[in-house]
Amino acid sequence: MNGAKRGASRATTIIDIAKVAGVSKSTVSLVLKDSPLVKPGTRQRVNQAIEQLGYVYNRSAASLRTSKSSFVGMVISDLMNPFFAELAVGIEDELNDFGFVPILANTNENVDRQARVLQSLLEHGVAGVIMSPANGTDAWTLAATLPRSLPVVLTMRRVEGSPLPYVGPDNRTGACRAVRHLIGLGHRRIAFIGGFGTMTTQSERLSGYFDALQEAGLQRDETLIFDAAPTRNGGMDAAARALAHSGRPTAAFCFNDIVAIGVTRAIALRGLRVGADIAVIGFDDVVGAEHNLPPLTTVSADTRLMGARAARGLLGLIEGADPATASFTGETRLVIRESCGAQQETIGGTT
Amino acid sequence: MNGAKRGASRATTIIDIAKVAGVSKSTVSLVLKDSPLVKPGTRQRVNQAIEQLGYVYNRSAASLRTSKSSFVGMVISDLMNPFFAELAVGIEDELNDFGFVPILANTNENVDRQARVLQSLLEHGVAGVIMSPANGTDAWTLAATLPRSLPVVLTMRRVEGSPLPYVGPDNRTGACRAVRHLIGLGHRRIAFIGGFGTMTTQSERLSGYFDALQEAGLQRDETLIFDAAPTRNGGMDAAARALAHSGRPTAAFCFNDIVAIGVTRAIALRGLRVGADIAVIGFDDVVGAEHNLPPLTTVSADTRLMGARAARGLLGLIEGADPATASFTGETRLVIRESCGAQQETIGGTT
DNA sequence: CTGAAAGCGCTTACAG
DNA sequence: CTGAAAGCGCTTACAG
């Protein structure tokens, strides 16, 4: 058995403070919730007693009585990824503002672990769940795990076939914007690098890529699509394949900024120049935004804002709002980080 | 009032399942905790009922009754920093293994916010708290906020004057190792760059820096110590000052790897070569380890492991262990990341 | 092996 | 404005 006692001995309760203040515990409860029903003098005596005894409110007991919880499950697929860390910060911050606290679960992209933590979250009585689903999450399994009545919002990744509300970047429009930018630079053979077909995020970004090609009257060429792990090494590997392609692309649109960094490196290792020889653009701008490391052009949405919106959406659901109102797609902008220095330029763009 | 109902209508309880299984609720409770006191046949009927009704255990109610909590407060000073994100992952993972769940609070280096979240954590009945204290945390205030009886472990940063158990890297020995490495390379004028005197982490690393100088019979020169924010820009600024120094240093020991990246960049911007003209070494290896971005030499401990140790230490305290047993200092190793490629070499070293 | 009973710390009508 | 009473969902001796 795990678990620990609250405090060393018996906790001080509203009964204790009722005794000291010379009132009933109902009255104490009323002052705790700032009820206008209690006389100022009484209120003051009660507050004094609270101060004096160092009383701390037992929210769990209240929660049991009212069946209202202030816990929210925050299920993150990979907290080591700065992208999701930023998301988590956005969620936590917003939740805090509304008096809720997040229980963190990092699934590390493991669907079994995800199933376990969801169960645990239920037992802990969360009022709702915000989750970036682990890769490979199955809509049916998810539906079977979560009570129909539990408010849930998916974030950053959809689950194919699930009707759950979704908060995330506008992948399709963003990808289209990125590829349109490359086309505007004169590129005609543009590779799509990174991600796997099983990821809804990839298919959305791929759709945007195709949109831009079509809009420019360019032929789509499936051989220019290179699946790869959404990591730096994935980017390096895929770039090697792309560069060996008989009709070598002159530009690469990368699944995300981390892939783009790998691609950039692979290009440099072959003695080619990024930009001059091969243009590279990524999606998301987390690594760059935080450390401002590589000069890189990306298209990205405000991750933290999306975290906040996910939280707000969930809180709405908890209050009984229509699930449709919880969804939100983040607008993307083109960010051109020209050099190694701090200077950077943002080219806005409403979706 | 915030909070939401558990489920849509009344939750199913052990009473419901007792009825269906034809036993008393005590018996249900016993099977829930796998008591050997219950007959296999009965156990099976109960489990069937549980399955059938989709019962979910209400851990909060149990917690109220037993005054044992499975919540742990995880107070992180800056979750956007990948260093702390990795720490959080280590903590969460270990906690999970022992059936505890972390309530996450990101203080964002704000001591007021920290005080608020600690209070909130108490009200939510956490069994203990693991925290990386926000910069500027005062021992006295902290002691006043936290009940004497609450198990707490500090991690990654000490709070000056606080006797709370501490889990973190061996800053002094690590810094000494780093500077010794530079001295071994022939350097005699070695700058210390980054951090502020108010950070216990800086003073510990500074001590190690002095240790190495002294051990080599080198004079300490306070003008070679450059305080700066522990950020990339802080590193750039401080490096500019260091490079303008009349007796320009030939090497820099940086407060952390992020500062080191800034220093590296500042050196490059001036047309000097890192390594050949000025050697750079950092502490911690988070940015590099994750993205493998810049070639950089660092001295670092295993952050995730330290998270796990912090968690284990806290769980020990919760079980009543001696506070002294909760402390742990992580051994550091020298990591030489030679080039842009994936190759890297680790030169071990027991502390 | 199983059941009846008390109680964890709170809230909430309901009387006064 | 304030008090007595019931109850949220569980656990835990205590009898049988």
**pLDDT tens per residue, range A314-339:** 999 999 999 999 999 999 999 887 65
Element (H, E) at B268: helix B257-269
Rg of chain A over Cα atoms, rounded to whole angstroms, equals: 26
Structure tokens belonging to residue A102: 């997040």
Task: Please check whether residue B239 is in contact with residue B228, taking contact to mean a CB–CB distance below 8 angstroms.
Answer: no
The pLDDT assigned to A24 comes to: 85
Top-level class of domain B14-66 = mainly alpha
Measure, in angstroms, how far nucleotide D14 C1' is from residue B22 CA. 22
Q: What is the pLDDT of residue B343?
A: 34
Q: What phi and psi, each to the nearest 5 degrees, are found at residue A278?
A: -135, 125
Alpha-carbon span A212 to A214, nearest angstrom? 5
Q: Angle, nearest 10°, between helix axes B40-53 and B14-21?
A: 120
A294 confidence band (pLDDT: 50, 70, 90) = low
With cut-offs at 50, 70 and 90, classify the pLDDT of residue A351: very low
Q: What is the mean pLDDT of residues B73-78?
A: 97
pLDDT tens string A128-162: 999 999 999 999 999 999 999 999 999 999 999 99
Q: Lowest mean pLDDT: which of A69-73, A236-240, B206-210, B283-287?
A: B283-287
Task: Provide the angle, in degrees to the nearest 10, between the axes of the packed helices A303-318 and A82-97.
Answer: 40
Q: What CATH number belongs to A71-168+303-330?
A: 3.40.50.2300
A261 confidence band (pLDDT: 50, 70, 90): confident
Looking at residue B250, its pLDDT comes to 95
Of all protein residues, which has its CA closest to the C1' atom of D11? Answer: B65
Q: Look at residue B9 in the predicted model and tell me its pLDDT.
A: 59
SS (H, E, C) chain A: CCCEECCCCCCCCHHHHHHHHCCCHHHHHHHHCCCCCCCHHHHHHHHHHHHHHCCCCCHHHHHHHHCEECEEEEEECCCCCHHHHHHHHHHHHHHHHCCCEEEEEECCCCHHHHHHHHHHHHHCCCCEEEECCCCCCCHHHHHHHCCCCCCEEEECCCCCCCCCCEEEECHHHHHHHHHHHHHHCCCCCEEEECECCCCHHHHHHHHHHHHHHHHCCCCCCHHHEECECCCHHHHHHHHHHHHHCCCCCCEEEECCHHHHHHHHHHHHHCCCCECCCEEEEEECCHHHHHHCCCCCEEEECCHHHHHHHHHHHHHHHHCCCCHHHHCEEECCEEEECCCCCCCCEEECCCC
A56:B2 CB<8 A:
no
- Is the pLDDT at A95 greater than 90, yes or no? yes
State the best of A106, A108, A259, A303 to mutate against chain B, taking most chain B CBs within 10 Å: A106
How much is the average pLDDT of B245-258?
A: 93
Q: Is the CB of A64 under 7 A from strand D?
A: yes
Distance CA B156, CA B150 (A): 20
Is the Cβ atom of B5 within 7 Å of strand D at any atom?
no
* Mean pLDDT (whole number) for A291-303: 78
A294 compared with B306, residue with greater pLDDT? B306
Residue B219 CB partners (closer than 8 Å, separation 6+): B213
Using the CA of A41, which nucleotide's C1' is the nearest one? D1
Mean pLDDT of B57-67: 93
CA–CA–CA angle B225, B228, B232 (5° rounding): 120
Share of chain A above pLDDT 70, in %: 91
Spatial neighbors of A60 by CB under 8 A, at least 6 apart, are B60, B63, B64, B69, B124, B125
| pLDDT score for A254 | 96
How high is the pLDDT of residue A232?
Answer: 84
Closest CA to B254 of B300, B192, B316: B192
Using a pLDDT cut of 90, give the percent of chain B over it. Answer: 68
- Rounded to a whole number, what is the distance in Å from the CA of A202 to chain B's nearest CA? 21
pLDDT exceeds cutoff 80 at A340: no
CA angle A165, A167, A169 (to 5 degrees): 140
In 10 A of CB B180, how many CB atoms? 19
CA B86 to chain centre: 7
Among A9-18, A131-140, A237-246, B237-246, the least confident range: A9-18
Averaged pLDDT, A288-292? 57
Task: State the average pLDDT for chain A.
Answer: 89
| Positions on chain D within 7 A of a protein C-beta | 1-5, 7-13
Domain boundaries defined on chain A: 14-66, 71-168+303-330, 171-300
User: Would you tell me which CATH number, out of the four given (3.10.20.30, 3.40.50.1110, 3.40.50.2300, 3.40.50.10860), belongs to the domain A171-300?
Assistant: 3.40.50.2300
Whether A345 shows a pLDDT value over 50: the answer reads: no
Among the listed ranges A38-52, B182-196, B310-324, which one has the minimum average pLDDT value?
A38-52
* Beta carbons of A124 and B103 less than 8 Å apart: no
pLDDT tens sequence across B217-233: 999 999 999 999 998 88
Average pLDDT rounded to a whole number, residues A163-170:
96
Looking at residue B338, its pLDDT comes to: 64
User: Taking CA B218 as the corner, what is the angle to CA B216 and CA B223, rounded to the nearest 5 degrees?
Assistant: 140
Mean pLDDT of A16-24: 88
The number of beta carbons lying within 10 Å of the beta carbon of residue A324 is 8
CATH topology of domain B71-169+303-329: Rossmann fold (3.40.50)
State the DSSP code for B282: E
Do residues B64 and A11 touch, judged by C-beta distance below 8 A? Answer: no
What's the confidence (pLDDT) of residue A11?
Answer: 80
**Predicted local distance difference test score (pLDDT) of residue B84:** 94
With distances taken from each CA to the C1' atom of nucleotide D13, the closest residue turns out to be: B26
Are the beta carbons of B118 and B75 closer than 8 angstroms? yes
- Cβ atoms within 10 Å of B242's Cβ, excluding its own: 23
What is residue B36's predicted lDDT score, i.e. its pLDDT?
A: 78
What is the per-residue DSSP string for B299-349?
A: EE--HHHHHHHHHHHHHHHHTT--GGGG-EEE--EEEE--SSSS--EEE--
- A315 CA, C11 C1': separation in Å? 23
Residues from chain B that touch A229, judged by Cβ atoms under 8 A, are none
Read off the amino acid at residue B95: L
Give B287's pLDDT tier (boundaries 50, 70, 90): low
- Region A280-290: mean pLDDT is 78
Please list, residue by residue across A96-115, b when 16 or more beta carbons sit within 10 angstroms of its beta carbon and e when fewer do. Answer: beeebbbbbbbbbbbbebbb
Chain B residues in contact with A261 (beta carbon < 8 A): 291, 293
What pairing do the DSSP bridges indicate for beta strands A333-336 and A297-300? Answer: antiparallel
Higher-pLDDT residue of A82, B6: A82
pLDDT of residue B22: 87
Contact A190, A252 (CB under 8 A): yes
CA distance B128 to chain A (A): 8
Structure tokens at B34: 């796998």
Element (H, E) at B177: helix B171-184
- Report how many Cβ contacts below 8 Å link chain A to chain B: 207
According to DSSP, the residues that pair with B76 across neighbouring strands are B106
pLDDT(B58) > 60: yes
Residue A17 predicted with pLDDT over 80:
yes
Residue with tokens 């939280």: A311
Q: Above 90 in pLDDT, residue B349?
A: no
Which residues are within 8 A (CB) of B89 and not within 5 positions of it... i.e. 6 or more apart? A79, A80, A106, A108, B304, B307
* Lowest-pLDDT range of A7-11, A230-234, B251-255, B267-271: A7-11
Which pairing describes strands A225-226 and A251-254: parallel, antiparallel, or unpaired? unpaired
Does residue A304 have a pLDDT over 50? yes
A319, A310 contact by CB (below 8 A): no
**CATH fold match for the domains A14-66 and A71-168+303-330:** no
Residue whose entry in the numeric block shows the structure tokens 């707490």:
B152
Amino acid at A188: R
Find, among A322, A339, A337, A227, the residue nearest to A288 by Cα. A337
**Quick one: tokens of A244?**
């060996």
Strand-pair partners of A335 = A298, A346
Q: How far apart are CA A327 and CA A168, in angstroms?
A: 8
State the nucleotide closest to A27 in CA–C1' terms.
D2
The C-alpha angle B5, B7, B13, rounded to 5 degrees, equals: 105
Contacts of A67 by beta carbon, 8 Å cutoff, 6+ apart: B5, B6, B11
d(Cα B61, Cα A12) in Å, to the nearest integer?
A: 18
Residue B292 has pLDDT above 70, yes or no: no
Q: Give SS3 for B7.
A: coil
Helix (H) or strand (E) segment spanning residue B29:
helix B25-32
pLDDT at A143: 95
Query: Does the pLDDT of residue B114 top 50, yes or no?
Result: yes
> What's the gap in Å between the CA of A213 and the closest CA on chain B?
31
C6: residue with closest CA to C1': B65
Distance from CA(A26) to C1'(C16), angstroms, rounded: 14
For residue B286, with 0-12 CB atoms within 10 Å meaning exposed, 13-18 middle and 19 or more buried, which class applies?
buried
Nearest to A267 by CA among A283, A254, A284, A286: A254
Would you give the end-to-end CA distance of chain B in angstroms?
Answer: 53
In the predicted structure, residue A298 carries a pLDDT above the cut 50 = yes
Listed ranges A90-94, A194-198, B18-22, B53-57; the one with the highest mean pLDDT: A90-94
Q: Please give the average per-residue pLDDT across A42-47, as a whole number.
A: 88
Give the closest-approach CA distance of B246 to chain A in angstroms: 25
At A287 the pLDDT is 67
Place of tokens 């999701």: A84
Q: Which residues of A touch B11 (CB under 8 A)?
A: 67
